[in-house]
Amino acid sequence: MSVRVRYAPSPTGSPHVGNIRTALFNHLFARRHGGVHILRIEDTDRARLVEGCEDEIRESLRYVGVEWQEGDGVGGAHGPYRQSDRKEAGVYEPVWRRMLEEGSAYWAFDTPEELEEMREFQQINKKPTGYFGGVWRDADPAKADEARAAGKPGVVRLKVPRGETIVLDDAIRGRIEYDSNLVDDPVLIKADGMPTYHFAAMVDDRLMGITHVFRGEEWISSAPKHLVLFRSLGWEPPVFVHVPVIKGKDGAKLSKRHGDTACLDFRRAGYLSGALANFIALIGWAPGGDREVMSMDEMAEAFDLKGIQPSPGVFDLDKLNWMNGVYLRQTPTESLYAGAVDYARREETVGYWAKRVPGPGEVDPHVRLKGLRMLAEADPGYALEAVRLEQERVTTLADLGPACSFFFDEEPEFDPKAVEKWFHEPHVPRLLDHLATALETQDQTWTAEACESLVRGAAEALGLEKLGPAVHPTRVALTGRTVGPGLFELMAALGSDRMLARLKRARGKVGVGA
């Protein structure tokens, strides 16, 4: 039997990385077994619907490279793939009607107030809370008919058998037993006629031929309800794979207060698709051995349920940063440049940084955006060189902005500390003059090699024992800072005109001749 899995988000917000990791697992598992991955939208809760977030779901999936061969947006033989549409198409009604007839489900007409009262009573008496029958579970069918005829709002509930042990064979945790006396009768069909998750998801999984259900571990406690439902209908349940949750640094489940958690936030922050996918796959899954940096192909080949962790994992941003750096350095410079330009031009990028509150020691978001904008607008040949030189020094696409800005800003700001440190040396005016004169008088292509001999020659002419005193002030004069790419490469990229202009500007800063 070939593998069919599904990612079934409910459109109540932009999916966060934990959700998307579940989608990734689905994708990896389907690929590993040559199966089909389906995208199904579970929008049965009309109250929590968030407009437009179905797009964000698809965008998030595309961003991390999760593919689906069937379902929302692509169609397939088991459609429709949105539960509200399925409800309209009448796929659920025959199923629950049949359950009603067979006695595995029943109508209940308790009011919300009555249910609330019941729960309070259970709490006070230290009984398990939940609906274990009330007056309706075993009521005379005529009584239910009567209530319906009277137009009372009612729900359909699953009749969970009592006095049994329900056994779940979880794919990563093994056997889990439940006492059916502690499993309450879940609502299958709400008073508004919409099915609940407990009903719709199971029916759809069955109808769509799903073989393995990947879902968060928060579902473990309702699994017995699902098992009972399948059994009531005479259906073979799928294999349940309850994956661990992803937590924030403080140990609590990942949420807004941990900073960026929506999958798309990471795209906005400049993380590379492959790096994020690789990183989140490794929270809760390990291929065994020491493997870490892996392409999607490699992960798909290695993916195995045995490697999934039963315990929750913490999202470690430091490690993501490291991995992003690895991917970024691996990217061919041409692609990286193209990616950076695309990134810089995205509206979401601007929106993201504009709203950003910088942490301590973090580059001012507006400076970052300015650098990004300059990079995108600069001459491609020149910008490519800038990216080439900064590629191994940055961790995200966003970092490329501030890192490269001195290439494009013809009057880069002087870092006060850099000036303090290097512009007060007595030899500096002569050094800058020497370089400027050479650039003005020698008509040649200033390759990195040529620049190196220029600087070395200057150091020698000034009687400097070491290269540092020549290199550092020159760097400050040219870039305004103390850090950056190798000086000679940087000079070659800048070209003589820029160098000359900057040398002169810096000359003014260090005072009049020596």
Chosen residue from 97, 98, 256, 329 binding RNA by CB under 7 A? 329
Number of residues that bind RNA (CB under 7 A): 93
CB of 285 to RNA, least distance (A): 7
Nearest CA to 41 among 27, 56, 30, 29?
A: 56
Q: Which is nearer to RNA, 7 or 343 (CB)?
A: 7
Question: Could you tell me how many residues make up the chain?
Answer: 514
Tokens 């000079």: give the residue: 491
Tokens 């950056």: give the residue: 484
Q: How many CA atoms lie within 13 A of 303 on its CB side?
A: 22
* DSSP-derived secondary structure letter, 295: -
The answer to whether the CB of 435 falls within 8 A of the CB of 455 is yes
Residue 37 φ/ψ, nearest 5 degrees: -110, 130
Residues 423-452 touching RNA, rule: CB under 7 A, are none
Q: Which amino acid is at 444?
A: Q
By CB under 7 A, is residue 363 in contact with RNA?
no
Chosen residue from 2, 123, 442, 444 binding RNA by CB under 7 A? 123
Radius of gyration over every alpha carbon of the chain, rounded to an integer in angstroms:
32
Q: Which is nearer to RNA, 112 or 513 (CB)?
A: 112
Nearest CA to 37 among 65, 69, 62?
A: 69
Residues 40-99 touching RNA, rule: CB under 7 A, are 42, 44-45, 47-48
Nearest CA to 401 among 422, 375, 363?
A: 375
Residue 170 φ/ψ, nearest 5 degrees: -70, 140
H or E element in which residue 313 lies? strand 313-314
Q: Classify 235 as helix, strand or coil.
A: coil
By CB under 7 A, is residue 310 in contact with RNA?
yes
Q: Which is nearer to RNA, 247 or 268 (CB)?
A: 247
Nearest CA to 81 among 100, 104, 57?
A: 57
The answer to whether the CB of 377 falls within 8 A of the CB of 390 is no
Stretch that binds RNA, among 20-28, 107-115, 334-342, 370-378 (CB under 7 A): 107-115
Residues 399-418 touching RNA, rule: CB under 7 A, are none
Q: Which is nearer to RNA, 425 or 489 (CB)?
A: 489
By CB under 7 A, is residue 28 in contact with RNA?
no
Q: Classify 52 as helix, strand or coil.
A: coil
Chosen residue from 53, 64, 155, 439 binding RNA by CB under 7 A? 155
H or E element in which residue 228 lies? helix 223-232
> Catalytic positions, please?
256
Chosen residue from 54, 70, 72, 110 binding RNA by CB under 7 A? 110
Structure tokens at 355: 């709203």
Q: Which is nearer to RNA, 129 or 437 (CB)?
A: 129
By CB under 7 A, is residue 222 in contact with RNA?
yes
Classify the C-alpha dihedral 250-255-260-264 as positive or negative.
Answer: positive
CB of 345 to RNA, least distance (A): 25
The answer to whether the CB of 369 falls within 8 A of the CB of 335 is no
- Stretch 279-308: interaction string toward RNA, x if CB under 7 A: ---xxxxx-xxx-x-------------xx-
Q: Which is nearer to RNA, 2 or 165 (CB)?
A: 165
Helices and strands, number each (H, E), in the chain:
22, 12
Stretch that binds RNA, among 67-75, 212-220, 336-344, 349-357 (CB under 7 A): 212-220
Chosen residue from 392, 410, 449, 460 binding RNA by CB under 7 A? 392
By CB under 7 A, is residue 237 in contact with RNA?
no
Q: Which amino acid is at 421?
A: K
By CB under 7 A, is residue 257 in contact with RNA?
no
Chosen residue from 139, 176, 207, 501 binding RNA by CB under 7 A? 176
CB of 24 to RNA, least distance (A): 13
CB of 354 to RNA, least distance (A): 27
Residue 312 φ/ψ, nearest 5 degrees: -65, 155
By CB under 7 A, is residue 24 in contact with RNA?
no
Residues 181-210 touching RNA, rule: CB under 7 A, are 182, 184, 187, 190-192, 194, 196-198, 201
For residue 296, the Cα-to-chain-centroid distance in whole angstroms is: 15
Q: Which is nearer to RNA, 327 or 343 (CB)?
A: 327
Nearest CA to 45 among 190, 152, 219?
A: 190
By CB under 7 A, is residue 311 in contact with RNA?
yes
Q: Which is nearer to RNA, 194 or 500 (CB)?
A: 194
d(CA 243, CA 172): 8
- Stretch 475-494: interaction string toward RNA, x if CB under 7 A: x------xxxxxxxx-----
Q: Which is nearer to RNA, 192 or 379 (CB)?
A: 192
d(CA 401, CA 213): 43
By CB under 7 A, is residue 219 in contact with RNA?
yes
By CB under 7 A, is residue 131 in contact with RNA?
yes
Stretch that binds RNA, among 99-107, 129-137, 333-341, 422-430 (CB under 7 A): 129-137
For residue 20, the Cα-to-chain-centroid distance in whole angstroms is: 6
CB of 57 to RNA, least distance (A): 12
CB of 355 to RNA, least distance (A): 26
Q: Which is nearer to RNA, 155 or 352 (CB)?
A: 155
H or E element in which residue 155 lies? strand 155-158
CB of 111 to RNA, least distance (A): 6
